[in-house]
Amino acid sequence: MLIAVTGDTHYGDKTKNLPLPLFESLERKGPDMILHTGDVTSGELLERLEGFAPVVAVRGNADHLDLPGERVIDAEDIRIGLLHGHEFFSLNSDFLALKALDMGVDVLVFGHTHRFYHDVVSVHGRRVVLLNPGSPTFPRMDSPGLAFLEVRGESVRIKRVRFW
């Protein structure tokens, strides 16, 4: 299963333009699902993404859309937690790993920082994958892009796509 992961797009509040490489990557890869980590800010963007694959999104601090704050998704033999992250004091790996344990997930996908981040940590004997796809529109001290999460059984691979 191939899952595209994006977030912090701020479409509609900070920009009316989305980088063409975002849609080219989705067209080329043909994901089974798209996860959005919040700060969508426009239902129009979600509709556009739905043209590529089913979308699961959460509410960010800039969103006024009727979206949940957290989601848990089953993908093959793993559970993926999805949240924005603005409600936490710290987004360090120890805290995020504990949040993943609290949610009962193997992978925790989050946003808010507008920076790509990927790590695999062990907490209480459990392996947890942490992923922030960054932002395709407003990266902070980073390149614009998105990430792909490839799930095969219990195996997870992350691929980062930089637009330039």
Query: Cβ neighbours of residue 66 under 8 Å, at least 6 residues apart?
Result: none
Specify the pTM. 0.95
* CA separation for the pair 159, 146 (Å, rounded): 9
- In the chain, where are the structural domains located? 2-162
Q: Per-residue confidence of the chain (164 residues) as pLDDT tens digits?
A: 999 999 999 987 877 788 899 999 999 999 999 999 999 999 999 999 999 999 999 999 999 999 999 999 999 999 999 999 998 767 788 889 999 999 999 999 999 999 999 999 998 889 999 999 999 999 999 999 999 999 999 999 999 999 98
Q: Are 82 and 94 in contact (CB under 8 A)?
A: no
Tell the CATH topology of 2-162: Purple Acid Phosphatase; chain A, domain 2 (3.60.21)
